[in-house]
Chains A and B, each alone.
Chain A
């Protein structure tokens, strides 16, 4: 059955059948070939109960929030402001890419949306100022991945939903690793550009007056982050409800800055619907597949197999990390999460690991999957925003950041407190 699922998954994906549909087909196949029970009769109920969810409505809310920020021009101003503050470092504007991505991560729940936002505003600059495209675009792709680590995060909401762990705790746990990753990205860029100055553009400095004035443009995003996170931790609302506060906040800011018009609202709403249904087809497909897999006893089989190896806790974690790295090359990340969580998390928790800590470790690995070829959505997004050049540039440019993420996973395994400290003190 394991062979059937793996081969079927890869084969059908290669045929470029939509991912969500592939998951349904695999589930139907398991029903037909591996169990005598009429599992198909459960399909409708699973479609209903996996979409009738007050937790998951945070997804369209956070997407809408991001759409409003991009379409009202707030993103551009943020980028210009960060450029004034951080481009004196070796690597120049590349740091503005990472910093903008980090700030947008604090309001966006998605990595692809974050990198799309930054790519849209940054790419024209790269061409104008003559940057080496590799490191410049690699930094956007990598910086964008922080969208799912720094709260809010759609992927952490899905993780909390599937594993019954507390979403606010997960959000808190992601904050320190997220900021550490951002700093590490900046550090590695500085190091690379000190060794190979030709990879970064010229460093830029601005008069102090301009810098101070630019700070004003950072206020909206910081305010929005404070409102969303504040609402959750003040106890005014659940994470899902806080998403609606975020929508209202983004809308108010866009209004105040004069960025609201009918066309922009229309595009934001349809954009939200498109992304929500895209995510939900995968989530629903995965819950049906999971239902058939556990009915057919795959979870138990896999658990038996891994327990039979007698690896112990550390060995198990290393095997799990390896599984995610390998699968991460080929599988779209949200699908990767929803398909593996029901099988892997119980196993890891049974070995005595903290489910919140593991959620954060998984997010680092998922971030890595977003920028490793051949299937790395962020790479495609950044390449899409470039008008010329080959995909290989972006892939090569992302390599240093993949190394940083590998180191981060190792650090998380060695020092779980990086993730667990903040939730334990707040």
Chain B
């Protein structure tokens, strides 16, 4: 598989992930809405708050890799735009390398949180008593996924740069997507 096709594959894969995450958020919105309506008639699910928090944590971690491939993580390109394409490619690779290292460290440091919850059999400090491991496992996997995708992207982009295909590397790891809606 060429580096380019590999990147396209990664992007498709993460678009799928993002759609699932989006559906999860939509489901959470529906759940909260239903609870508001139920409260008007004097009852309630209870615990919508707690569940929204878990959805947010998991959605955040699993969305990270998609945002990366969509060039969504904000970068300041003051210096970068002034460089020729070769220099830009070098900066992009460097920045990608740093990101991959830091994200790996984050994923690594997230493991003890889950390990601790497993060891203590921790349950949320709420009437629901949600076992924390149930929600921290998918959360941790999201960060691990982000780390894996970062290294894979770095690797593919490095091949493009080495081949001198700067346009393609810029499309993969440049600073901004083409003027789509930011934030």
* A contact set with B: CB distance below 8 Å: 13-21, 24-25, 28, 40-41, 43-45, 47-48, 51-54, 56-57, 60-61, 64, 67, 70, 110, 112-113, 116-117, 231, 236-237, 240-241, 243-245, 247-248, 266, 268-282, 284, 330, 332, 334-335, 374-375, 377, 380-381, 384-385
A13-B76 contact given A44-B112, A70-B181, A385-B179, CB 8 Å threshold: yes
Q: Quote the shortest CB–CB distance from A6 to chain B (angstroms).
A: 15
The secondary-structure label for the interface of chain B is helix
Q: How many residues of B contact A (CB 8 A)?
A: 69
Bound-state Cα–Cα, A273 to B56, Å: 11
Contact between A16 and B183, CB atoms less than 8 A apart: no
A14-B76 contact given A51-B57, A273-B22, CB 8 Å threshold: yes
Contact between A237 and B36, CB atoms less than 8 A apart: yes
Contact between A241 and B36, CB atoms less than 8 A apart: yes
Bound-state Cα–Cα, A54 to B28, Å: 11
B136 within 8 A of A: yes
Which listed residue, B76, B98, B176, touches A25 by the CB 8 Å rule?
A: B98
Bound-state Cα–Cα, A376 to B21, Å: 30
Inside 8 A of A16's CB, which chain B residues have their CB? 75-80, 91-92, 95, 175
Between-chain CB contacts (< 8 Å), 21 pairs: A13-B76, A17-B98, A17-B99, A44-B111, A44-B112, A48-B57, A48-B136, A52-B53, A56-B56, A57-B52, A57-B56, A236-B40, A241-B35, A248-B29, A270-B18, A273-B18, A277-B63, A278-B73, A374-B78, A377-B183, A385-B179
Contact between A110 and B183, CB atoms less than 8 A apart: yes
Which listed residue, B49, B136, B178, B181, touches A54 by the CB 8 Å rule?
A: B49
Which listed residue, B64, B76, B113, touches A44 by the CB 8 Å rule?
A: B113
Contact between B75 and A18, CB atoms less than 8 A apart: yes
Q: Quote the shortest CB–CB distance from B149 to chain A (angstroms).
A: 12
- 16 extra interchain contacts, Cβ-Cβ under 8 A, other than A279-B183, A334-B183, A381-B181? A14-B79, A15-B91, A16-B95, A47-B106, A47-B110, A51-B61, A52-B56, A244-B33, A269-B22, A273-B59, A274-B72, A275-B183, A278-B72, A278-B73, A380-B176, A384-B179
Q: Quote the shortest CB–CB distance from B25 to chain A (angstroms).
A: 5
The chain A residue sitting closest to B39, CB to CB, is A236
Q: Mark B171-183, 1 if CB is under 8 A from A, else 0.
A: 0000110110111
Contact between A241 and B32, CB atoms less than 8 A apart: yes
Query: Which 10 residue pairs spanning A and B have beta carbons closest together?
Result: A269-B22, A384-B179, A277-B63, A112-B183, A18-B73, A244-B29, A43-B109, A277-B67, A44-B113, A52-B57
The chain B residue sitting closest to A13, CB to CB, is B76
Q: Quote the shortest CB–CB distance from B67 to chain A (angstroms).
A: 4
Bound-state Cα–Cα, A243 to B48, Å: 14
Contact between A113 and B79, CB atoms less than 8 A apart: no
Bound-state Cα–Cα, A116 to B53, Å: 29
Inside 8 A of B112's CB, which chain A residues have their CB? 41, 44
Contact between B50 and A54, CB atoms less than 8 A apart: yes
Inside 8 A of A277's CB, which chain B residues have their CB? 60, 63-64, 66-67, 72-73
Inside 8 A of B155's CB, which chain A residues have their CB? none
B23 within 8 A of A: yes
Contact between B59 and A274, CB atoms less than 8 A apart: no
Inside 8 A of A275's CB, which chain B residues have their CB? 72, 181-183
Q: Quote the shortest CB–CB distance from A1 to chain B (angstroms).
A: 21
Inside 8 A of B183's CB, which chain A residues have their CB? 110, 112-113, 275, 278-279, 334, 377
Q: Which of A44, A45, A112, A237 has the most CB of B within 10 A?
A: A44
Contact between A244 and B53, CB atoms less than 8 A apart: no
Inside 8 A of B60's CB, which chain A residues have their CB? 51, 276-277, 280, 284
Q: Mark B149-179, 1 if CB is under 8 A from A, else 0.
A: 0000000000000000000000000011011
* B contact set with A: CB distance below 8 Å: 15, 18-19, 21-23, 25-26, 28-30, 32-33, 35-36, 39-40, 48-50, 52-57, 59-61, 63-64, 66-67, 70, 72-80, 91-92, 94-95, 98-99, 102-103, 105-106, 109-113, 135-136, 139, 143, 175-176, 178-179, 181-183
Contact between B109 and A61, CB atoms less than 8 A apart: no
Contact between A332 and B63, CB atoms less than 8 A apart: no
Inside 8 A of A110's CB, which chain B residues have their CB? 183
Inside 8 A of A276's CB, which chain B residues have their CB? 25, 59-60, 63
Contact between A269 and B26, CB atoms less than 8 A apart: yes
Inside 8 A of B76's CB, which chain A residues have their CB? 13-14, 16, 19, 330, 332, 375
Inside 8 A of A41's CB, which chain B residues have their CB? 109, 112
Which listed residue, B56, B94, B106, touches A15 by the CB 8 Å rule?
A: B94
Inside 8 A of A40's CB, which chain B residues have their CB? 109
Which listed residue, A47, A70, A280, A381, touches B109 by the CB 8 Å rule?
A: A47
Bound-state Cα–Cα, A19 to B98, Å: 12
Contact between B102 and A24, CB atoms less than 8 A apart: yes
Contact between B36 and A244, CB atoms less than 8 A apart: yes
A278-B67 contact given A47-B143, A375-B78, CB 8 Å threshold: yes
